[in-house]
Each structure stands twice: as C-alpha cells, then as structure tokens.
A and B are shown apart, each in its own frame.
Chain A
C-alpha cells in the first residue's frame, strides 16, 4: 500500500545507532519470542493456503494427498477467471493513472496554495474516514438515481478512483512539498518556459515517485472489494469472483486462486516499494 513509502521517509538522526542497551535488555528475549509468534500469525495462514493449493485432494483441507499443480491449471483454464483478471488489471492501471493525474495537479495547487484548500484536503481524505461499505452505497444510490447502468469502466472505475485518490494524494503531495523550489526558479531564470520547467525539471525529478504511486494504486485497486460489490452489476473483478466462489461453495481451486492473487498484488507493491526507495535516493 501507499503507506509503505512512509516507513523510511523521515531523516534518521545519527544518534539512533547508539540505543541505550540498559533500557532494552531485560525485555529482549521476551520481545524476540513474541515477534516470532507475531510473524507466524501473519504468515502461517498464507503458508497453509499455499500448501493446500498443491493438495491433490478434491476438498479444500487436510489430509495432504500428494502434490499437484492441477488446481493452477483449473484456474488458468477458466475463461471467467481470466476475464476477471483482465478486468482487474485494466481497472487497476486506469484508476491509478486517473487518480495520479488528478492528485498530481492538486499537489501542485497545494504547493501554490489556494482558497479553500483545507476543505478540499478533508474531502480528499474522506474515503479513508468513511466506512468502505458506505462508500459503495452512496455510489449505488447516486448512479441508481441517475439511471446509469453499472459498468466496469463507468461506475466501478469511479468507485476505484474515489478509493485510491487519498492514498495517491498523500504520497505524491509529500514528495511535491519536498521538491526544492530553487530548481524550478533556476530553470526559469535560465530562460525555461513554464512547460519546459514542467517536463524537463519537475517531472524527471518526481518520475520515480509517480511510478511508485501508480504501482501502489494498482495494488489498492486490484484488491478493492466492498465498494466494487455495490456498483459492479454483472461484470466481475478478481475479488468479486473470489467472493462469489467462497459464498457459493468452497471449490477446491480456491487456494490456488488465492495464491495467484496474493502474488499479483505483492509483485505490484514490491515494485512500487523499489521505485519509492529510488525516488527517495534521488530526492535526498
């Protein structure tokens, strides 16, 4: 998620390398054991699902009857799943691109300052504060009232842009605020026109941050479920297909499907993480 970029964002004082041992030692062993348990709690269930995805058994669960990649073949040969995968990927790219464009322009506006920007900030962050289920319902009511039929590239796209916009804005805005004005001023003093300053100074500097933002928003959109559920109609995204498959019956290819979706969202986010690390190095 976009918050990833947060973890190492701030400058660390050199003194951190010399943490006072006395304050830590008596707790160290207990905390280390606890940490091991915590990470087992995080990864255990996912590891079990990965194991079950290779189980030859027709029912999801133990005993382990031998290893097979059969369920992965089943997943990849189901046309509805492949269609949902395509839908999710194109929605992720499209909503990411739209949210990034809107947020980038808004970030520039925030740098300049404009009337009513506190209200706008509140509105941008609203989807984080509002329960997701209400975020879905308000759009269902809105489009229903207008008589707009649910569709992937109309109603669902709006729901996804609404959802990723606050995260995209928070990460991009932090980067834009950190951008040194002196560089733009220098370029302008040297005779660069506004669009040249934009394309040849500002954009190259924040390009890694833009790419990182795109990848994170892709991951957020790819995993979005609750808002989508209310406005999707008869189209399907991966989480919705997954949901229907769980609610109807626990079909044996579900663990394989889970592993595939986990791998896709993790890959997107890891790439985003790498790019955001790059943008930090460039900016510092």
Chain B
C-alpha cells in the first residue's frame, strides 16, 4: 500500500522526500491531544468517584460493580446488541439485491442510480429520522391514509414509539453503509468467472449462491461492521422513534452526561460499550476490509 522510497531516489528533491515525521507531525499532534488523551481520560474516569459535589480522581471499581451487578444495564446492553444485529441483518437483506443490480447495470443508468443511492444519505440523519414522525405518528400520513381508505376507524398507535419503529429508522438511516461496500466488491467481480460458471453448466441460482455470494463476502463483512458500529451507538433514532421501553445503550450513556451528571458512571458505561463493540468486531474481525469499503480503492 505504501510505496517505500528506494535509496537511489533520495537524491532527487521530491516534495515527499522531506522527513516523513515532520509532515506527519500536525496529524500526530492533533490525534494525540484530541483523541488519545481524551479516550485515556475517559478510561481513567471510569474508576473515579462521582458524588453530588462532583467527580473526583480515585481508583475504585464501584462504577463497574454498578454496571454488572444489576440486570438493568446488562439487559439494556444485550437489547442494544440485538437491535444492532437485527439492523445489520435487515440492511444486508435489503441491500444485497440492489448492490447486485447496480453492479450489473451499464453506462449512464449505472451512474445515475448509484448517484441516486447516495443523495438521501448526504442529508443529516437527524432530518432523515425526523421524516418518519409525521408519517408514522398518530395524526401521521399513514394513519390518515388508512382512515381515508376506510381500513381503520381509529388511528393506530402501534406505528411509532416501539422497537419496530427503531429498526425501521435505523435501517433507513444506515443501509447505504451496507449497500456501498457490497456494490464495490460485486462491481469488481470478473465477468469471466460468471461466464465460466455458466459454461460449466451452473444454473443462475447456483451461480448466485456458489460464485457471486462467496466472492461478495469481503463487501458483506465491511458493510456489516459499518452498520453494526453505527447502529450499536445509536442515540437519535431510539430517542425520537422509540418508546421508553426501546431506548438503547447510547441513550443511557448520554443521560449520565446530559441529565444525571454522573460522569464517572457514564464513563464506565461507555468503556463497557467500547469493550463489547471491540469484542464483537474482533469476532467479525476484518478491519482491512473496512478501509477498502470506505475509500473504495486499494489506495
């Protein structure tokens, strides 16, 4: 990926022949101060003590005891993982056929539909989550339409403020992050492989299941990692579309900082979440594919 400078080239005055670490210094300094130290501080604070007088440096395990001793937080964490995994699976099922179709399209149609896929995702997810409120709400578009059609007499309350609405919102907001990496891998697929499968007598379904799907796995993996990561930390969607029984772990962490003012406990919750996420990721384990999926090139 990174081309090594050959010794002979050092004599020419390339821009890039300056000391690498000097060019990297602004980035390294920025990351150190605004990323490494803050994360370290949060990890440290998860062992501190919060009282009504504030948060004080200490080294106690009280916060973690509180996280793991009651089934409340563990239950919330498990439900959050379940929602994130469901979102990932639904996104995969929804995205795969579209990615396959886009990869097979040609010429101007292809670029048009790929562009059309992106446009909604360029807008804020706050806005794209909000759009469901006037649609699913009690006086929303769906209820009004159903009443006008005579299907129901009273507006339905079950459309909003439940786990189904949260899943719908999460899939709506994050599905591109699944579609894109799958599309990228399928688009790179050598058509000769499909022809070979065809020539060797494979039926379309066999070609799909035994050639296309296995070869799309790198894209599926990086898409799954992205959607899982985005939905496991969701805050906006469950806050707006979920009821009190479908809040996610992100909402619980946020409330420690935004309303309860218990930073030490909030840090412990956040560290717990990060550790669990990293554990899930190492099981899914493909950081390499992630970078490719994001940049779309082997750069």
Q: Which residues of A contact B (CB under 8 A)?
A: 1-10, 12-13, 15-20, 22-27, 31-32, 34-35, 38-39, 41-43, 45-46, 48-49, 52, 59-63, 101-103, 105-106, 108-115, 117, 120, 123-134, 137-142, 144-145, 158, 161-162, 165-167, 170-171, 173-174, 177-178, 181, 184-185, 188-189, 192-194, 197-198, 202, 219, 222-223, 225-226, 229-230, 238-239, 242-243, 246-247, 250, 254-255, 258, 261-262, 265-266, 268-270, 273
Contacts and interface: CB of A to CB of B under 8 A. Distances in A.
B133 A250 contact: yes
B277 A131 contact: yes
Given A133-B235, A193-B13, A48 B27 contact: no
Contacts of B115: 273
B12 A189 contact: yes
Contacts of A106: 23-24, 26-27
Contacts of A34: 97-98, 101
Interface stretch (B59-67, B68-76, B156-164, B194-202): B194-202
B229 A61 contact: no
12 contacts: A6-B294, A26-B204, A32-B101, A34-B97, A103-B27, A105-B24, A108-B18, A111-B3, A246-B126, A266-B119, A269-B122, A273-B115
A7 B183 contact: yes
B233 interface: yes
B151 interface: no
B194 A170 contact: no
Contacts of A270: 119
A137 B257 contact: yes
B35 A262 contact: no
Interface residues of B, number: 115
A23 B124 contact: no
B254 interface: yes
